[in-house]
Amino acid sequence: MRATLTRPGLCRVEQIMGTAITLDLADDLPPATLRELADEVFAWMHEVDARFSTYQPDSEVCRFDRGEVLLSEASADLRFVLETCADLWGATDGFFDAYATGRLDPSGFVKGWAAQVASDRLVAAGAVNHCVNAGGDVRVRGLSPSGEPWRIGIRHPWDAMAACLVLTGTDLAVATSGVYERGRHVLDPRRGTPASGLRSVTVVGTDLGVADAYATAALAMGTPGLGWLARLDDHTHAAITDNARQHHSVDLPLTD
Amino acid sequence: MRRAFLAITGLAASTTALVVLKGSPGATPVAQNVPTAQPVNPTPLGVDPSADPAAGPPTPSVAPTAPTSPKPGKTTTRPSGTKTTTKAPSAPRTTTKAPQSTNRRVTGNGFENEYGYVQVQIVVSGNRIVEAVALSLPSGGESDIHSGDVRNRYDGSGGEVVQKQNANLNTVSGATETSNSYKQSLRSAIEQAF
C-alpha cells in the first residue's frame, strides 16, 4: 500500500508475522531508491517470518524444536537468536523464557530484533531518518518527515485509540508488552500461570530485541517487575498496573 | 377565602422566584459550568491524589510529580444549590479538540469476524491520518470486562491516574495484536483516502 504524499520519504504497511509492520522513511531520497529500501526491509521481515514463525510447521524454529535440525546445522540467524534468548533468560532472572509455553517460541525477542536489524541496515544504506514499527515495537532514528524528532505514543491500556504517554527522540528503541489485547497471554515461566499485577510495560533503550524481551519479562514478573525495571542499566521504562496507576523512570524521554 | 389565600401564596412564591432569578444573573451559568469541570483531574500525571477504594494501600510511585493531595477548595466546589462561587473554571474547556476545517472523514468497509462486526473510520488532515475511530467493534468477552474495568476506575473520587494524551504522533508503541478485520477495515479506509 503506497500513498502518494507531498512529504519527503515513503510510508508502507504490510501484514507480516501476524501483525502490521509499518515502515516510515523520512529521507528525501529519489522515489526509486526509497522503494528499493522498503522492498529490502519487507523482504527481510518475510524472511524472518518464514524462519522463525511458530505457526508454520516448516519454519526453521519448528523444525529445530522437533529435533529435525541440529544446532550445528542451524542458520547463523537462528543460532544468534538462541544464544541471545539464553543470555536474556539469565539477565531477566528466568522471566524471559523462550520455552515458557513448553515449546520453543522466541517471538518475544524475534519481532523486535527483526525490526532492529532492518533499522541498522537502513542506516548502513544511508537512510538515517526512519521509523520501523513491528506490531507495536518501535525503532526510530533521526528525524520524522516534519523535520522534528519522532513522537512515539504509548498506547493507553484501556483505550486503543488513545496514548497515555508520548515519547520523543532521535535514536530510540521502544518496546511495549501488554495484556490488554490477547488477554492474559504472558505466562509467569516459574509458576506456569498467567502473569498479573501489570497491565502494560514499555522499555526504552537502543536495542529493540532486548527492550522487547525486557518488557515481556517485567510483565511476567507482575508487580515486582517495577523494582526490577528500576534497576535496569541503560534502559528507561513506563509501566501501568492493573489498578490503572502509572510508573515511569525519571529520565524517560517524555515530550514536554 | 381559601382560594384568595392560595392566590396570594402563589403570587408571593412566583415573585420571590422572579426576584431570586433576577437578583443573581450569574448563578445559572455557574451552576452549569461546575459539573463539566468535575471529571477533569486537577492533579498532574501519575499521582493518585486521594483514597481510591478499588486501589488498596498506596504503592510507591516512581513518577517524579510532586503533589499528592488535591488543592483545597478546587474539588470541594460541588454545586449543592443554586448559589455557588462566581469562579467558573474555564481552563478544562481547552482540552476539547477544535475540529479543523480541512479534516475529512473516510469510512472503511465493514468486516465480519467470529466475534462480530468491525468498521473503522479515519480522519485525514492534509496528507496525515489524525484519528482512527472504530465505528463498530464486537462486544462481549474480554472487551466488556475491560470496559467495566475502565468505568470502575474512572468513576471513583480518586480520579483517573493513567491519563490520555492528544498529541501529534508519528507512531504508537503497544502490544498490538488487533484483529485482521480491524486492519482490513482500516486499510480500506486508508486506500480510499489517499
B161 vs A1, A32, B48, B83, B97, CA distance in Å? 38, 47, 6, 31, 21
What topology does CATH give the domain A10-248? T-fold (3.10.520)
Rounded Cα distance between B61 and B76, Å, is 26
CA dihedral A98, A100, A103, A109 (to 10 degrees): -20
When pLDDT is cut at 50, 70 and 90, the band that residue B192 belongs to is: confident
The strand pair at A130-134 and A137-141 is best described as: antiparallel
Contact A239, A202 (CB under 8 A): yes
pTM comes to: 0.63
What Å distances lie between residue B83 and A256, B5, B15, B28, B80, CA to CA? Answer: 39, 30, 18, 8, 8
- Whether residue B173 and residue A154 make contact (CB cut-off 8 A), yes or no, is yes
Count of CB atoms situated within 10 Å of the CB of A157: 27
Instruction: List CB contacts of A125: < 8 A, sequence separation 6 or more.
Output: A37, A40
Span B58-112, pLDDT tens digits: 444 444 444 444 444 444 444 444 444 444 444 444 444 444 457 888 888 887 6
Which of B118, B173, B178, B194 is the best substitution to test chain A (most A C-beta atoms within 10 A)?
A: B173
Residue A202, SS3 per DSSP: strand
Q: Which residue among B48, B55, B171 sits closest to A131, beta carbon to beta carbon?
A: B171
pLDDT in tens, B144-176: 444 334 333 333 222 235 777 766 788 888 875
Q: Mutating which of A155, A167, A232, A245 best tests the B interface, going by the most B Cβ atoms within 10 A?
A: A245
Q: Closest residue of B to A26, CA-based? A: B170
Beta pairing, strands A236-241 & A246-248: antiparallel
On whether the CB atoms of residues A240 and A199 are closer than 8 A, the answer is yes
Chain B hits for A240, CB-CB cut-off 8 Å, are 162
What ranges do the domains of chain B cover? 2-93, 103-160+177-193
- pLDDT band for B119, please (50, 70, 90 cuts): confident
d(CA B166, CA B161): 16
